Amino acid sequence: MMNEFDMECGSGSVDFGVETDIHHSGVIHHSYHPYPIILGLGGNLGPVREAFDQAIRLLGRLGVTVENRSRLYHARPWGVPDQPDYLNAAIAVRTRLRPLELLWLCLHVEATLGRRRRLRWGPRRIDVDLLLYGNLVMNHPRLKLPHPRIARRDFVLQPIMDLGIPPHHAIAPAGWGALLRALPSPERMIYHAESWSE
């Protein structure tokens, strides 16, 4: 549902042009930074909620701490309508990773859990996507932050709002709610919300 790249990411490394220090623990070490980072989760194949839980556990083992999570949102598919409905959520995390390193880690988690990139916006077991990295604005060939399509997707905006983070100055100067209210009815995909415990 978010940054899409025409690549396969297996268990090996992907060179994003940044230096890393990977120890035997698998954690990439850099100075801890204090700003909230938001990852989006989505999927529509198999037991998606189980895949979310697996992704969170795997992220934790790799040095990404989940501090908060949104409700779970059921939504009609966006972009390619002829596919199963989606489950979506967002998580607030802390990490020592820099943006491109975190992107690589998200791709690694997706691949580990069975994600294969075949059709853009097509069915998938899981997305783990970098939406916001604090207040950072980034325009890199492999990563744009904030995610450029946040404002067009209620199944991204609503989970972000659940997390209670301040609006990002670059895309939501009037607040997250203003973006959500501006979405026309045909672009509203959410039809049900539930807690993780339901």
Q: Beta strands 72-75 and 64-69: pairing type?
A: unpaired
Range 135-162 average pLDDT: 92
Q: What is the pLDDT of residues 70-91, one digit of tens each?
A: 999 999 997 777 789 999 999 9
Angle at which helix 48-61 crosses helix 99-112, to 10 degrees, equals: 130
The reply to whether 25 falls in a domain is no
The reply to whether 175 falls in a domain is yes
Residue 154's φ and ψ, nearest 5 degrees, are -65, -30
For the cut 90, the answer to whether the pLDDT of residue 21 exceeds it is no
Q: Is the peptide bond before 167 cis (omega within 30 degrees of 0)?
A: no
Looking at 69, 98, 125, 129, which residue is catalytic? 129
The reply to whether 110 falls in a domain is yes
For the cut 60, the answer to whether the pLDDT of residue 29 exceeds it is no
Range 170-187 average pLDDT: 92
For the cut 80, the answer to whether the pLDDT of residue 49 exceeds it is yes
**Does 188 qualify as catalytic in the annotation?**
no
Neighbours of 30 (CB within 10 A): 16
According to DSSP H, which parts of 98-153 are helical? 99-112
For the cut 70, the answer to whether the pLDDT of residue 148 exceeds it is yes
CATH number of the domain residue 63 falls in: 3.30.70.560
Looking at 115, 125, 153, 154, which residue is catalytic? 115
**Does 115 qualify as catalytic in the annotation?**
yes
10 versus 82: which is more confidently predicted? 82
Looking at 69, 98, 125, 127, which residue is catalytic? 127
Confidence (pTM): 0.81
Q: What is the pLDDT of residues 110-126, one digit of tens each?
A: 989 986 766 566 688 89
Looking at 124, 153, 154, 162, which residue is catalytic? 124
The reply to whether 95 falls in a domain is yes
Neighbours of 169 (CB within 10 A): 10
Residue 153's φ and ψ, nearest 5 degrees, are -130, 110
SS3 category, 189: coil
Q: What is the pLDDT of residue 24?
A: 33
Domain that holds residue 159: 37-136+145-194
The reply to whether 160 falls in a domain is yes
The single residue listed with the structure tokens 């791709």 is 107
The reply to whether 9 falls in a domain is no
The tally of domains found in the chain comes to 1
The single residue listed with the structure tokens 């070490």 is 29
